[in-house]
Structure 1
Amino acid sequence: MKDVIFDDFQNAVDESLLRHKSILDIMTKLQESNARINRAIAKSITNCGCIKLNAEKQHLPEHDVNMNIESLKDCLKSHISGSLCDNCREVIEHEIGNNLFYLTSLCNSLDLNLFDVLLKENDKINT
């Protein structure tokens, strides 16, 4: 069922992309949409203030033979505190949606199936 949703989305993107059909246009629009995501997140911190950034060096424990991946996850931090307000969440979701559109357009131009790419990445992560 999920592959149908991905295929439907990929087909809809293919049908709606008229203006930026060139691979060069798609590549630069993808890069621009990525920058817009970064800008929206930065504005959530600096303009709205709904989230805060407290970045510092990640501290890993010294060589602990009993350390596993799960306990290592507890040591690493995202450096984010707070949570997105409704407005910032909406803006960031919109920008991520645009990014997915151009990523899917890139897949279409290169004759790649987005769902297959996702499955391969999922298999790699789970290995």
Structure 2
Amino acid sequence: MSGLTLKQFQEQVSDLLLRHRSLLDVLSKSQQASASVNRSVIKSVTECGCISLQANKQPYTEELTLEETKAIIQTHVNGQLCENCIDAITVQLGKQLFYLSALCNLLELDLDDTLAKESQKCSTLGLFNLS
């Protein structure tokens, strides 16, 4: 599947989406897919234990430069995902991409264009795009 473009994937999704062609169905399936991604990540912590979390207040202050801030901000994740958890999360992310593509199809949006516009916005706004 090397070289698969977003446009090709979007067309593939359009061909495969039969049961949930309603916008409401796609929106609810997209939300369900997002929840499943979250659940898979959570299970990596709570059931498998390949990763753990140690969350605390980020040591951010206004006096730090951007580079200094990047160096000290933490992900709160310790460890690395095991192969089983990588597989589970990848499957759920794939479903999420499927329904994102389906939503774009139903609204006649091009996923490539959406990605290009967001990338351009990130490039143009730079630091002002930080959230």
Say yes or no: TM over 0.5.
yes
Aligned residues: 123
Q: Who is 2:68 aligned against?
A: 71
Q: Distance in 1 between matches of 2:4 and 2:89?
A: 25
Question: Partners of 1:62 and 1:54 in 2: how far apart?
Answer: 24
Query: Which of 113, 116, 121 is the equivalent residue of 1:116?
Result: 113
Matches of 2:62 and 2:23 in 1, distance apart? 47
Q: 2-side partners of 1:55 and 1:18: how far apart?
A: 42
Structure 2: gaps of 5 or more residues: 125-131
**Secondary structure at 1:81 match in 2:** strand
Deviation at 1:97, TM superposition (A): 0.3
Q: 2:103 aligns with which of 95, 106, 127?
A: 106
- Quote the Cα distance in structure 2 between the aligned partners of 1:75 and 1:108: 41
1:70, distance to aligned residue in structure 2 (A): 2.6
1:126 aligns with 2:123: yes
Alignment RMSD (CA, Å): 1.6
The equivalent of 1:88 in structure 2 is: 85
C-alpha deviation, 1:4, in angstroms = 6.6
Identity of aligned residues (%): 43
**Which amino acid in structure 2 is aligned with residue 79 of structure 1?**
H
What TM-score comes out, normalization by structure 2 length?
0.89
State the AA in 2 paired with 1:25.
D
Match of residue 14 from structure 2: 14
Unaligned ranges ≥5, structure 1: none
Distance in 2, matches of 1:62 and 1:102, equals 39
